[in-house]
Amino acid sequence: MKVLVINAGSSSLKYQLIETDTEEVLAKGLCERIGLEGSKLTHSPENKDDYVKEQEMPTHTTAVQLVLEALVDPEHGVIEHIDEISAVGHRVLHAGQVYSDSVIVNDDVKKVVKDCFPLGPLHNPANLIGIEACEEAMPGKPQVAVFDTAFGQSMQPKAYMYAIPYKFYEKYGIRKYGFHGTSHKFVSGRTIEFADLDKSSCKVIVCHLGNGASISASIGGKCVDTSMGLTPLEGLIMGTRSGDIDAAVVQFLANNENLSVEEVLNILNKESGVLGISGVSSDFRDLSAAAEDGNERAQVALDAFIYRVAKYIGSYVAAMNGVDAIAFTGGIGENDCATRGKICEYLGYLGVNIDPENNSKRGEEMYISTPDSKVKVMVIPTNEELAIARETLALVK
């Protein structure tokens, strides 16, 4: 069965066509600058050259139509007819407290996505537009919504409540939701299989370290805590996001720099993190190079990132009263051996023992801990598109 996976952003749309029988990616691509000047589609079919089409895309519906045209194109396509696509799986940011699993899209689901616009103001409107564009281009084709917040729904109130007046939770649903849920679910599930852990009781920590970074704790595959909050701003230090911060900083900056709350939040989301501390880059490759050249702020940024991850791991071990396995994933978690190694240097108290030779490899599924390490530590590459295709298949087959 062929599943089209769609990740719609406000002015972009990423897609993959996945053959679920073999889990092979038949084609993937990206529509950029939708609704702006200079929009283009980059289509990468399997075993064929990339194809770039520069064409006006005033709406997401046009973008979806161009994607479908590329998929059936006699020269660049990978299927003969759109009917070969059995279903569409959409990445959707926020489902509030309504869905703890993926669902087949109907009017009720679309209403929930819409009701959650205030909770995901940048992503949810784009996600809904993506769904409606596919409905228009492929009427009657089953569509599945896979929510980034679903995995976090198994958290208990003690983990998700913010200590602010309860009425704000009741009135607006202000609480910790957690994000990257599709990745955390996929990687924790794969960790359990890979390490042959007890499915019902194993304690797993997943460190999703990329430009956006988050960490989750799960028992028996169910999330008990995760670092992102009401929005993806909370938790770890990220490429450009501050992560945890004293909320009073917002007022201080607003007053002293004459900024609005929105402007301060923009700084905390887009100009902070390792970029903010270092002034060099949000990219770990640039930061490592700068630190090696003696740039002290780049070194502080790296050290602060590593320290924050180590602190979260410690707090989740305490929350679960132990841990069986720790998995690294995301661009940094999968590839940055030095950062992984330094995080693990903090974990000696857990009996973590890292094999330096294994930890010098990148990008593959593997143990980086020694066989006698008390906690298994591994790299498990994430694959959110495949996870979305699997969830879609499970609901429509």
Binding mask 129-168 for ligand AMP (x = CB under 6 A): ----------------------------------------
Helix (H, G, I), strand (E, B) or coil at 363: coil
Binding to ligand AMP by residue 332, rule CB under 6 A? Answer: yes
**196 backbone φψ class: left, alpha, beta (φ>0; ψ -120 to 50):** left
Q: Which is nearer to ligand AMP, 284 or 312 (CB)?
A: 284
Q: How many helices (H) and strands (E) does the chain have?
A: 15, 14
**Count of other CB atoms within 10 angstroms of residue 5:** 26
Record the tokens describing residue 11, joined without a space.
């002015």
Our CA angle for 117, 118, 119, nearest 5°, is: 90
What number of CA atoms fall less than 13 Å from residue 9's CA on the CB side?
10
Please report how close the Cβ of residue 380 comes to ligand AMP at its closest, in angstroms: 13
Binding to ligand AMP by residue 276, rule CB under 6 A? Answer: no
Residue selected from 48, 111, 199, 285 as contacting ligand AMP according to rule CB under 6 A = 285
**What is the C-alpha to C-alpha distance for residues 143 and 266, in angstroms, rounded to an integer?**
33
Q: How many residues bind ligand AMP (CB under 6 A)?
A: 12
Q: In this chain, which stretch among 57-65, 260-268, 304-312, 324-332 interacts with ligand AMP, using CB under 6 A?
A: 324-332
Please report how close the Cβ of residue 226 comes to ligand AMP at its closest, in angstroms: 17
Binding to ligand AMP by residue 341, rule CB under 6 A? Answer: no
Please report how close the Cβ of residue 10 comes to ligand AMP at its closest, in angstroms: 18
Binding mask 229-258 for ligand AMP (x = CB under 6 A): ----------x-------------------
Cβ neighbours of residue 277 closer than 8 Å, sequence gap 6 or more:
237, 297, 300, 301, 304
**Residues tagged active-site:** 148
Q: DSSP E strands: which ranges in 192-312?
A: 203-209, 213-219, 222-226
Contact residues for ligand AMP, defined by CB under 6 A: 210-211, 239, 283-285, 330-332, 335-336, 362
